[in-house]
Amino acid sequence: MTTMTSNMPETDSRLDLQQLMRQKYRRRVIVGNVILAFVMAALVVALIPLLSIVISVIDRGSKVLSTAFLTQVQQDPFAFDPYAIGGIWNAIVGSLVMDGIAIGAAIPLGIFSGVILSDAKGKIGTTIHRIFDVMIGLPSILFGLFVFFVLLGPVFNNAYSGMAGVIALTLMSIPLIAVATESAISAVPPTLNEAGLALGALPSRVMWNIKLPAARPAILTGVLLALSRAVGETAPVLFVIGQSREANWNPAAEQSSLPTLTFQYLQGFFPSQREAAWGIALILMTVVFLVNLTSRIISARSQRG
C-alpha cells in the first residue's frame, strides 16, 4: 500500500489537509483505473489470436466434415479425382488405441511415482523430485528421440510400430501425473493424516485409504491434462509410428494418429488434403476442449465441496 508522504507544511488548516488527501486518493484511483483498463485489455489481446485461429479452423474445417470423412479410411487421390481422399478413420483408430493404452499405462505408473515422490526425502529424493519437475516442461520431441534411439533398433527391429508411439506418450505423461499426484497428496490437510496415524494405521494404509482418495480430484485433473497433451502432440510419435492407411486395432502395427495426419495433410500434395487437415484439426480441438472442460468442472466442483 502506498504510504502518505509527510511533506505537509505545519501551518496547513484541516480543510487543506483533507483536500490534499482527496487529491492523492483521486490520483491513485485514476492511475489504478488506467492500469485496470490495460489489464482487462490484456484479456482481449489474449483472445484475439484465439479468435483468429478458431475462426480459421471452423471456417475451413467444417467444409470437409461429413459421416464419410469420419468413417472411411484414408485414400490417395489422383490428379483427375483430386477429392478422393477418403476419410480419417485410420487416424481416429490410431489415436484411440495409442492414447488409450498410453494413458492407461501412465495412470498407475504416474500415481505410483507420485506416491514415491511424496515419500522421497534426503538429497537423492529431492533431486529426483526436482528432475521430475523439469521433465514436465521438457520438449516432447526428446521423448520421441529417446524411443527412436534406444528402443526402435533392439526392441522393434527398426520397424514402425504403434507401441513405440505408446511408449513415448507414456513416458511423456508419467512426470505430469506424478507431479500432480505429489502436490495433491501434500495438499491433503495434515489433520486427516494425523487422525489416521493416531488411530494406529500404518503409513501405507494412511496413503492408500486417506491421502489418495482425498487427492483424487486433483489427480484426475492431472490425468486429464496429460491426456489432452498426449492426444494433441505430434513430435513424440512422428518418427516412430509410420503412416498407416489402414485402421489397425493392433497397437503393435504401424499406425496413424490425428495430429500426425494433420501434419502430413497440411503439407499434402493435393489441395483437398490441405483442406482436410483443417477438418482434422477441428475434430481434435473439439475433443480436447471437451476433455479440458470436464476436468475444469470436476476441479471446480471439488473445490466447492
Partner 1 sequence: MKKNLRGSIGMAVAVLGLSASAVVPALAATAPTYTIDSTMVNDLTIKAANAPTADITMGGSSFVSNLLTPALAHYKAINTEKSVAAYDGTQGSTNGRKKVTGAATPALNVGFSDFPLENSGSDTFTYTVGSGLASNFAQLPVALGGVAITYNVPALNSSALQKLLAKNPLTLTGAQVGKIFAQKITKWNDASICATNKTLTVKVKVGNKTVTQCALPNETIHVVSRTAGSGTTYMFKDYLSKVDATDFASADSAVFAKTTGIDIPTVGNSAAMATQIDALDNSIGYVEYGFAAVTPGVNVASIVNASGVAVQPNATTVAAAAAAKTGFAMDTLAHRSLNNLTGKTVYPITGYSYAILLKEQSNRNNGITAVKVLDYLTHQGGAGTAGRPFTKAGTFGQDYAAVTGYVALPKSIQTLARNILLTVKDSNNAVLLNTSN
Partner 2 sequence: MPMDQSTTSTNAAGDLSNVSSSPKFNLAARGDGRYNIAMRIGQALLAIFIIVFFGSIIIQSIPGWQSAGFGFFTSTDWSNADFKFGALSLIAGTLVTTFIALLFAVPVGISAALSIQFLLHRRLRVLFSSLVEVLAIVPSIVFGVWGVAVISPWTQHTLEPFLRDISGGAPPFQGEIYGIGLLLGGLVLGVMILPTVVAVSRDAFAMVPQTLIEGAYGLGATRTQVLFRVALPAARRGVLGAVTLGTGRALGETVAMATILGGVTNKFPSSAFDLGATLASTIARDFLEATGSQVGALGSLALILTVIVFVVNYIARKIITRQAVTL
CA torsion, ordered 120, 125, 129, 132, to nearest 10 deg? -110
Considering the rule CB under 8 A, would residue 76 count as an interface residue with partner 1?
A: yes
CB of 76 to partner 1, least distance (A): 4
Q: Which residues are CB-contacts of 287 (< 8 A; sequence separation ≥ 6)?
A: 231
Smallest CA-to-CA distance from 65 within 269, 256, 281, 268 is with 281
The stretch among 9-17, 25-33, 226-234, 266-274 that binds partner 1 (CB under 8 A) is 266-274
Residues forming beta bridges with residue 78, ordered by sequence position: 81
Closer by beta carbon to partner 2, 51 or else 81: 51
Q: Which of the choices partner 2, partner 1, none does residue 268 contact, using the CB cut-off of 5 to 8 A by kind?
A: partner 1
Considering the rule CB under 8 A, would residue 80 count as an interface residue with partner 1?
A: yes
Position among 270, 279, 281, 283 found at the interface with partner 1 (CB under 8 A): 270
Position among 20, 245, 248, 291 found at the interface with partner 1 (CB under 8 A): 245
Whole-angstrom CA distances from 254 to 50, 101, 105, 217, 242 are 34, 15, 20, 36, 6
What count of Cα atoms within 13 Å lies in the side-chain half-sphere of residue 32?
8
Helices and strands (H, E) in the chain, number of each type: 12, 0
Within 143-182, the residues that bind partner 1 by CB under 8 A are 158
Closer by beta carbon to partner 2, 73 or else 109: 109
CB of 85 to partner 1, least distance (A): 12
The stretch among 14-22, 44-52, 124-132, 267-275 that binds partner 1 (CB under 8 A) is 267-275
